[in-house]
Amino acid sequence: MTVYKPLSADDKVSTKTLLHEAIPITGTIVSGTYSEGNIQNFTHGMFQSVYDYPYLSSSANHIFDISFGTSEDSALAVTSQAAKKDNVYNQMAQVLMGYDKDGNIQKFDEDGNLAAGGSKINDAIFLPFSRLLVKDEIKKGSFSMTIGTSASYAEDGSVFDQVVTITDRGADQSYKVNSPAGEYGILYATGAAGVLDETSTHTASFGSDKYWLAGLVYYQAGVAVLTSSVFMGDSEGGFLQSGSVEFFDSSTTLTGSLIGEEISGSADGLRTRIQNIQFNNTIELNSTVYFCRVKHNEFNYSSNPTYLSGSQIRVKNETTDVPISYITSIGLYSADNQLLAVGKFSEPIRKDNNIELTFRARLDY
Residue 1 lies in a domain: no
Q: Are residues 180 and 231 part of one domain?
A: yes
Q: Which residues pair with 216 in a beta bridge?
A: 186, 225
Task: Write down the pLDDT at residue 153.
Answer: 67
Q: Of 282, 314, 331, which marks where a domain is finished?
A: 282
The answer to whether the beta carbons of residues 16 and 287 sit under 8 Å apart is: yes
The percent of residues above 70 in pLDDT, for the chain, comes to: 92
Number of domains present in the structure of the chain? 2
> Which DSSP category does 86 fall into?
H
If you average pLDDT over every residue of the chain, what do you get?
89
Residue 13 lies in a domain: no
Predicted confidence at residue 94, as pLDDT, reads 96
Instruction: Tell if the pTM clears 0.95, that is, is over it.
Output: no
Establish if 313 belongs to a structural domain: yes
Question: Rounded CA gap, 19 and 24, in Å?
Answer: 17
Same domain, 325 and 254: no
Among 118-122, 171-175, 233-237, 291-295, the range scoring the smallest mean pLDDT is 233-237
Query: Which residue range is the domain that position 299 belongs to?
Result: 295-364
Asked if the model's pLDDT at residue 200 lies above 90, the reply is: no
Asked, for residue 290, whether it belongs to a domain, the answer is no
Please indicate, yes or no, whether residues 300 and 271 belong to a single structural domain of this protein. no
10 belongs to a structural domain? no
Judgement on whether residues 228 and 342 belong to the same structural domain of the protein: no
- The full DSSP string for 21-34 is EEEEEEHHHHTTTT
| Residue 170: strand, helix, or coil | coil
What is the Cα–Cα distance from 307 to 290, expressed in whole angstroms?
28
User: Could you tell me if residue 27 is inside a domain?
Assistant: yes
Same domain, 341 and 273: no
For residues 263 and 313, state if they share a domain: no
302 in the same domain as 161:
no
Asked whether residue 49 is assigned to any structural domain, the reply reads yes
Asked whether residue 188 falls in the same domain as residue 311, the answer is no
Write the CB contacts of 146 (distance below 8 Å, at least 6 apart in sequence). Answer: 163, 164, 165, 166, 274, 275, 276, 277
Residues 56-85 have pLDDT tens digits of: 999 999 999 999 999 999 999 999 999 999
Residues 246 and 353 reside in one and the same domain: no
What Å distances lie between residue 80 and 46, 77, 236, 249, 294, CA to CA?
12, 9, 19, 16, 73
